[in-house]
Structure 1
Amino acid sequence: MSGFAAIGECMIELSGANGDQWRMGFAGDTLNTTWYVRALTDTDFAVDYVTAFGDDPFSVKQRRFLRDNAINTAHSPTIVGARPGIYAITLTGSERSFTYWRNDAAARHLADDPDALAKSLDGRQVIYFSGITMGILSPKSRQNVLNAVSNARRQGSLVVFDANYRPRLWENADTARQVLSNAFHVTDIALPTFPDENALFGDATPADTATRIAGYGVREIVVKDGTEPALVIAGGTTTEVPTVRANAVDTTGAGDSFNGGYIASRLAGLDPLVAAINAHKVAARVVEFHGALAPMDEAKKAFNA
């Protein structure tokens, strides 16, 4: 087993520049995490982003962007006539809100071919996916993802999942609860965010979230909670890990970068508490930049500090 693969959607990101001018980049929750895993692992460690691309000029730019940053795309299909989804970031202070255009995004078809998906995940040391990954897919494709991840897990892959609940992606809350619960059942490391879990499952505290997810059979859990301490449950112990002070200008991608720092630490053989400390350091540096993707070298400096 070697390498890392994340499953999800690469979107066009529009972030504010001056007035009505916008900067264009590429981002998306699992892509953001992949970016930081790439930044924080050795250059010879294989990192892949498993998605689907359109055949338009922006999709060509997506592929080039990933290739130029040493992120491979495994057996990701090209969907004729499709194009990337788009989102725009609106800031109030450092807090962000998003507007999306993604109904005909190519990534909605990333799991239509179960054989290609299985090939993309074959032999991976770590596989990462999220509730957003699941939310954009059809019911059949959601099951294809769960089947592929479960099969890879049986072959020895470590599965990491962040529920990342976004209500607008789902038919209804009941469907979201069922699909995300099914995903937790095939997970080794869970990296949920407490406000999301509170909104969907009604958990009163981060400890309640951890207890519920442990009930699915997950043995390693880190409950993120914004600027509050993360709750780490591993090896039969529960520990709060404080956040790191930051001069935040844009909190886009904070949780995703935490996930990247945590996964990279665990890949390096560090224990969960050290991994959470490193993850907080990375996230604190990332929020000091606009957009979801801070420079890789800055993330690496924070990780090694």
Structure 2
Amino acid sequence: MDWDKLRIFHTVAEARSFTRAGTLLNLSQSAVSRQISALEESLNTPLFHRHARGLILTEHGEFLYNTVHEVFGKLSMAEAILQDARDSPQGVLKVTATVAFGSFWLAARIRNFVEAYPQINVRVLLDDRELDLGMREADVAVRLHKPKQPDLVQRRLMSVHIHACASRDYVAAHGMPRTIDDLDRHRLIIYGDNAPETLSGVNWLADLGRPPGRPREAVLRINNIYGLVQAVSSGLGIAGIPDYISRDRPDIVRVLPEIDGPTFETYFVYPEELRNSKKIQVFRDFLIGAVTDTEF
């Protein structure tokens, strides 16, 4: 099989459109379509169902995509390892983290790393789903739980504590709760239904001091920590907020400070194959230094 055609096929399969794939590949839509047709002809099987709303992989197309995706992932890994054989850290470094941690903590500190290592092209990918490091969707990750995959190198970074918080405007308008029972008379914001396993216990305020199976009603449910913080900041109500966010927000105050919420451990992880990568080593050291400088 022609590798150029497979590269184009891989892009089309992810874009689900000849036009979008052409933009990514800097080719015309007709050129992309011709390459896919030639690949299908050489394999004597259709790879896509053509629909007005886009392209859908056939069963054979799905099989080929999975195979090509795995091969390209391994080639990308090999390229990264070869690049790191040079004397100084350089090249692309893809870092993934959750939307909240990446937005509030990492993005506020990444400047020091970028300025210290200008030859490293940092790409931060914020996503609440876990990107596949083995398939090189990212090089390294900050995870809010201990990874289960045996082929990942992991380094514990810090503990994240959840505290009950509200905005100063909310407290001025509705008063400061003094006891757990006072929460029954306040507006609560919670993470929402079907919280992921990694955020187990994040809605502790709804259950705190309540009979089993009878949680407090929430004024708002929102399945994103960043959005939850914005709602609290607006003065809507009280919510559980990670300390790496609340400590840097003068508009937010802790309520019921004698009560602690859940604790999550954060880990820096990357594939075993990249253990000797210079750019990952210096990024690891940067994170450890940033954690040390952070007062919790």
TM-score over 0.5 for the alignment?
A: no
Q: Compute the TM-score of the two structures, normalised by the length of structure 2.
A: 0.23
Q: Compute the TM-score of the two structures, normalised by the length of structure 1.
A: 0.23
Report 1 or 2 for greater relative contact order, CA contacts < 8 Å, sequence distance ≥ 6.
2
Larger radius of gyration: 2
